[in-house]
Structure 1
């Protein structure tokens, strides 16, 4: 959906799901009919500004977020790719993989895995994001339905509030996991 109502519909569903609220609860909080919200989430209707503002308040989001198209949910940066900043007086390079959103919390983990069965993680809290850098070996990881194969030096970012997996493809696979929660 690329028309404004389509973007709004997708945003309403995305933000309601992220907040972990039912259709009925958001409608109640916003003071709109459940059928109205259902129509809007289906991409039907012509909502007033007042209705959209009420929904934003109910979802605790800024109004502009309703107009934002969905971002690509998974990002992969291969070793050597990305925007580099190089030091003048040392053999040192930095590549920004991800910036931290305001108010977010990040926890950092070292993952050590052996080939065999995959680690299936259930969805974490709404809005959670995971960043992983494979430092040794190879692994299949990311969203359960669309995992990526990463090698040492590769980076991936995916929504942690959806089912995701990690499966080592080589012995002694190591990775750094940064778990971000808003």
Structure 2
């Protein structure tokens, strides 16, 4: 497990799911498109990986993203796992998940002034719903940027590259729901 709490359960869960499937690290690397070296380091609690990389690993293992990052005994309604950390004051906490065609995830995000998060495209059919609770958030997508003030929201397909950018001089906070 990682000392800073980010993705604290990934290593143990990844190893458990992989072994339950009877997969080698090499076979998982081929099935997920994530390097064997990254898988080795994740299982040792020593690697960082993108959120979409975790989703690819989960898919290759027949698990959900939530199952991969959560404590094995966590309720999906109250996961509360730190899954991303940027500059000091920037973090993403997976709050909970609800069933959907595949799953739905509820996130609480905080971005420090000047920070950003660059996302890789999710699979086709995935969407995000974002509500800004404090500050100003710019969402950069292929169709152009959208700037949201506190109280504004956006709903869009996340099957594209996109970025969250703190467009304010203070902390920006927002709630993100991912539906697949």
TM-score bucket (shorter structure)? 0.3 to 0.5
Relative contact order, higher structure (CA 8 A, sep 6+): 1
- Highest Rg: 1 or 2? 1
- What's the TM-score, normalizing by structure 1? 0.41
- What's the TM-score, normalizing by structure 2? 0.42
